[in-house]
């Protein structure tokens, strides 16, 4: 992840400890709801 540049400048990092599909789906749902709340 991050490709060659990301590796060279060391900017890539995991933002979530749990990267299972269920955890990623839950995070996506949370972020979508957060974004919607800011637009209302």
Task: Indicate the domain borders of the chain.
Answer: 3-39
Q: What was the pLDDT predicted at 5?
A: 74
Kindly tell me the burial class for residue 9, based on how many C-beta atoms sit within 10 Å of its own C-beta (0-12, 13-18, 19 or more): exposed
Q: What was the pLDDT predicted at 15?
A: 76
Q: What was the pLDDT predicted at 10?
A: 72
Strand, coil or helix: what is 14? Answer: coil
Q: Tens of pLDDT along 1-40?
A: 556 777 777 776 777 889 899 999 999 999 999 999 999 8
Output the pTM of the full model.
0.60
Q: What was the pLDDT predicted at 29?
A: 97
Q: What was the pLDDT predicted at 4?
A: 76
Q: Rounded CA gap, 31 and 20, in Å?
A: 17
Structure-derived torsion over alpha carbons of residues 6, 9, 10, 15, reported in degrees to the nearest 10:
-50
């Amino acid at each position: 992840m991050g490709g060659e540049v990301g590796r060279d400048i060391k900017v890539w990092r995991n933002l979530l400890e749990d990267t299972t599909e269920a955890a990623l789906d839950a995070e996506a749902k949370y972020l979508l709801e957060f974004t919607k709340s800011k637009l209302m």
